């Protein structure tokens, strides 16, 4: 079984996220999503609208997703890839080059981002970015 893994916050799930998940799953037989915890999001300078539990619930309903596990730090990827016998690590190409160190452990694939959509754009379009509750 060819195992694929990807990482992210996946807040306010949109077509760009789903296209990433669809293309990631197409690279193998099993897709694990390593979902950023609320605490790790704070470290990333992000404040997700939906909690980890709700983002996990939503992702588990996506037919391309086989498993959702927590991402709690920047340094867990090598362990995750080795521990779960991952064959392919996938990220959108806004991360191109940033995870090439994983090439010693698995295939590394950066997929083109979906243009014209992002969680930040959704917040901006809804006029939500100037409230004190939202961080970048
Ligand atoms: N993505 C995409 N197209 C978009 C928006 C996002 O392909 N229009 C991809 C991103 O490139 C990423 C995934 O969807 O691969 C999840 O995006 P985010 O939730 O923004 O993830 P991010 O905050 O980049 O977290 O350790 C890695 C980090 O956890 C990545």
Ligand 1 neighbours by CB, cut-off 6 Å: 7-10, 16-17, 20, 36, 44, 71, 91-92, 94, 113-114, 117-118
* Domain boundaries along the sequence of the chain: 1-124
Q: State the pLDDT at residue 131.
A: 53
Helix ranges, 44-130 (H) = 52-59, 77-83, 119-125
Instruction: Divide the 136 residues of the chain into consecutive groups of 10 and give the mean pLDDT of each group.
Output: 98 98 98 98 95 98 98 98 98 98 98 96 88 49
Q: Give the class (CATH, top level) of 1-124.
A: alpha beta
Q: State the pLDDT at residue 136.
A: 44
Q: State the pLDDT at residue 130.
A: 57
Atom of ligand 1 nearest to the CA of 20: 7
Q: State the pLDDT at residue 129.
A: 74
- Write out pLDDT tens, residues 86-98: 999 999 999 999 9
């Amino acid at each position: 079984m060819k195992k694929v893994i990807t990482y992210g916050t996946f807040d306010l799930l949109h077509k760009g996220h789903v296209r990433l998940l669809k293309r990631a799953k197409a690279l193998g037989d099993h897709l694990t999503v390593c979902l950023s915890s609320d605490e790790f999001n704070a470290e990333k300078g992000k404040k997700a609208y939906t909690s980890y539990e709700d983002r996990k619930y939503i992702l588990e309903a996506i037919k391309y997703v086989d498993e959702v596990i927590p991402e709690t730090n920047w340094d867990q990827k090598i362990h995750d890839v080795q521990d779960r016998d991952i064959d392919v690590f996938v990220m959108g190409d806004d991360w191109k080059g940033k995870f090439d160190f994983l090439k010693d452990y698995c295939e590394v694939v950066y997929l083109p981002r979906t243009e014209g959509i992002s969680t930040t754009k959704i917040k901006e379009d809804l006029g939500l970015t100037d409230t004190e509750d939202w961080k970048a």
